[in-house]
Amino acid sequence: MTKKKTIEYNKITIILIIIGIFILTFLGYIIFRTYQSQNSLLSIMTIPLILGIVFENRRLSSDWKDILLKITIALALSFIAFLPGKNERNYSFEHHIEIWPYFFIGFFVLASVIHHEKKIIPKLTEGITLLQSISIIYWIVDIGFLNLKNVFVYLLIGIGLVFSIISFIHAFSYIKLTRNARLFLSIWSSVIMIIFAVDHIYRVFNFNYFVDYKIINDGLNVLQYFLLGVSLIYIFQNAIMLLEYFPSKSRAYNKEHLKDIRKMNKTHIERYSTNQIRIFDSLFALLFISGIYYWNYKCQIMPRHTLIWLIFWIFPFIIWLKDLLNEKIKTISSTV
């Protein structure tokens, strides 16, 4: 290393140390003010929410240094929350403490999306869109939309059913996945995920006791926040992939906007796998997931939004375990 590079490296190190000292000092002051306050300023449920984001970052990257770097950047940027607003006459530090964790979470998710841009646009498959379509049908039934006497609601349900039927047709047949079909199914997947995201976020932050036992309700609440943290990165990415199609003040389907839409169409098409799933697996998914949803609909074991996100999270592992078990059975059968 040359003398010039050594000096530059030392300067960067000193700057990082100063930033680190500032973050720790200010963080200590926030904790002190929170402890001194008579009000409950920080919700304990932000802990499982942040742990969910950390968990998904860990799954995407095994390097803890990357995660710590993202947390540090998010912490530094989150202190923007303590700047006074334009129309804020009486500055309240306690009020800013209340909103600060959400700034941190927002910047943490943003840093994660930027860092894992390629990894968080995973390959979609016929199986995933089948799972999502089954879930949206359960969601429509359980939320009670079928009982509403509203033409607009029935129109939206009809459109959703058309999309779902198309995903069912592809999952239960070997019809070739054309570019248009992959674009159609990928956009449908993003729409479903945003619908579930809005519902989940609303229900999580407006959670009421679901059963008579406090410990079970607290457990459900922790699980909801954790699952929200796990899914926030993907919710953000799906929102970006849909917002590209909407006009804005600066561009409303002009040449530049149409060019960006074509790029986004390509992203949607490329993320949808041309590999087709076996009809047996589609049937297994339909029976298994529908059975769980029906059981929950009748018995109300847990909130629908929690169950839906839990299914999204664990069902791929169930399929993996099923395939692994089948392989072991085949191996044992061949050696006998």
pTM listed for this prediction: 0.79
Q: How far is CA 30 from CA 23, 102, 212, 303, in A?
A: 10, 14, 36, 34
From first to last of its 336 residues, what are the pLDDT tens digits of the chain?
565 666 666 676 777 777 778 888 888 888 888 877 777 777 788 888 888 888 888 887 767 788 888 888 888 888 888 888 777 778 888 888 888 888 999 899 888 888 776 665 657 888 889 999 999 999 988 888 877 777 888 888 888 888 899 999 999 998 888 999 999 999 999 899 888 888 888 888 776 665 566 777 778 888 888 888 888 888 888 888 888 888 877 777 788 888 888 988 988 888 888 888 889 889 988 999 999 999 999 888 888 888 898 898 888 788 778 777 877 777 776 665
Give the tokens for residue 44: 């304990």
How far apart are alpha carbons 319 and 323 in whole angstroms?
A: 6
How far apart are alpha carbons 101 and 47 in whole angstroms?
A: 10
